[in-house]
Amino acid sequence: MQKKILTFIIHEKKILALYSEPHPQHDKGGWFVVTGSVEENEDFEEAVSREVMEETGLMVEEIFSLNWGSVYNWDNKICEEHNFVSFVNSKKVTLNEEHSKYEWLDIDKFIEIIKWDDNKELLGKVLKKALNRKIHFRNFTIKDYREGKNE
C-alpha cells in the first residue's frame, strides 16, 4: 500500500489554495492543497514538511494531525492518505511546476473553491476546529473509496 499525505497549509487563520492547470493525471485542474507520497525511510510528518517545501517553498513550523484519512485506488496502486494541517510563519509562496497560482483564503471561501470529492460541510467543521488546534475526530477515521468498499 502506497502511503500518501494531504495537508492544509495555514498562516494567520488563512488557508492556502493552490491552482493546478488541467493535466492528464489531475483531470480538469482546479484548486487543491499539498499532497504527495511518503518516501522510504520517512514518516508521515517528514513527508508533510518535505512536500510543503517542494510545492510552496514554505517551511512548516507545526504539523497537526487531523486523525482523518482515506484509502483509494490511484495509478494502479492502493493508496492510504493521512490528512494534516501545516502551520507556517510566512505567506511568501514559491510555486513549483505543479501549480500555476495560489491564494490565501478565509475558510468559507476556501471550502467554496477547493476541489474536494467528499462532504464539504464536514471538511469545513474539521478545518474550523483545526484552525484553533482542536481535533474533530477523536479516533483515527479512514474512509475507503475503493469500488465496493465501505467505511
CB 77 within 8 A of CB 43: no
Q: Look at residue 121 and tell me if it is in a domain.
A: yes
**Whole-prediction pTM value?**
0.93
pLDDT digits (tens, 9 = 90+) for 41-67: 999 999 999 999 999 999 999 999 999
- What's 25-64 look like in SS3? CCECCEEECEEEECCCCCCHHHHHHHHHHHHHCCCEEEEE
In this structure, is residue 149 part of a structural domain?
no
Q: How confident is the model at residue 26 (pLDDT cuts 50, 70, 90)?
A: low
Mean pLDDT for all residues in the chain? 94
Please check whether residue 151 lies inside any domain of the structure.
no
Q: Say what percent of the chain tops pLDDT 90.
A: 86
Instruction: Render pLDDT for 129-147 as a digit per residue (tens, 0 to 9).
Output: 999 999 999 999 999 999 8
Q: How confident is the model at residue 126 (pLDDT cuts 50, 70, 90)?
A: very high
- CATH code of the domain containing 68: 3.90.79.10
Confidence check: pLDDT of 149 > 70: no
> By residue range, what is the domain housing residue 99?
2-144
* Count: domains in the chain: 1
